[in-house]
A = this chain, B = another copy of it.
Amino acid sequence: MLNVQAMPTTAPWQPTAGQLIRQIGSDERWSTLKELQSLLRYDGHLQAGSEAELFQRRRLKAGQSALVMGQPFDGLYVVRLGTLKTLITNVDGGVHVLGFPMKGSLIGFDGIYQNTYTSDVVALTDCDLIRIPATNLFASENNNHLEHMAYWASSHEIIQEQEAYSLTRSVKSEARVARFLLTMSHRFEDMGWSPNRFILPMTRRDIGHHLSVTVETVSRAFSALVQQGIIEVDFREISILERDALCHFEH
């Protein structure tokens, strides 16, 4: 399929080309509107038939593209399982990671304007997405609570971007990494996992591209936090020992 990846200079993962077809497993299932509401934590009232309305799921293996910049908009996706990264690529090849969608995140919203996705979304782990087709979104004859929900959720996404925005310059890299870890910790806790011991699904490079620092700086910040006894690091596995100290950094 037309999965033309944005490639820096060399080809990252070639296999993605043909796999978007194969990703449709035989054990494909469907999700209800009710599950969507639960994932998005939409507190609006349920309506009759919310169990009957079905949405297709989409499986992705780590490294596959969920959305490709430039492709025509064909709907929104809600993450049911796994972690992805949203990134934009400059003309000169420089990349910036906008965020790391996880369970309950809404992706593809940027494609509504001008019917084209404006960022790439790549799976970092095996993922399970729920597709909200554009047709369902805008063919609001009887029920427009679906659009309501997407509308509401996208507002949430904007806020998250704003928060991530404060992770820019002028704040020492160590503080930014500390804040990033707290954000991840909070998100893992939201998903029902341990907030003090988790495995980062992304590379140091991804983190760096998200925080706008280099790989080395991220690594050095981790080492510094370890040396202060605030966290423990074993490659991707992070243990938070002194949460208060970590919080104290983001000031």
Of B109, B150, B162, B170, which one neighbours A212 at CB under 8 angstroms? B170
Contact B96 A165 (CB under 8 A): yes
Of B91, B169, B251, which one neighbours A92 at CB under 8 angstroms? B251
Best-buried of A109, A111, A150, A165 by chain B (most CB within 10 Å): A165
Interface residues of A (CB under 8 A from B): 88, 90-92, 94, 96, 98, 109-113, 118-119, 138, 140, 144, 147-148, 150-159, 161-162, 165-166, 168-171, 212-214, 251
Q: With a CB–CB cut-off of 8 A, which chain B residues contact A88?
A: 162, 165-166
Contact B112 A151 (CB under 8 A): yes
Q: Which residue of B lies closest to A138 (CB)?
A: B148
Contact B251 A166 (CB under 8 A): no
Lowest 5 CB-CB distances: which A-B pairs, in order?
A112-B155, A169-B212, A168-B212, A113-B155, A113-B156
Could you tell me the distance in whole angstroms from the C-beta of A215 to the nearest C-beta in chain B?
A: 12
Q: With a CB–CB cut-off of 8 A, which chain B residues contact A158?
A: 109-110, 113, 154, 157-158, 161
Bound together, the chains give a CA A113 to CA B150 distance in angstroms of 11
Q: With a CB–CB cut-off of 8 A, which chain B residues contact A109?
A: 155, 158
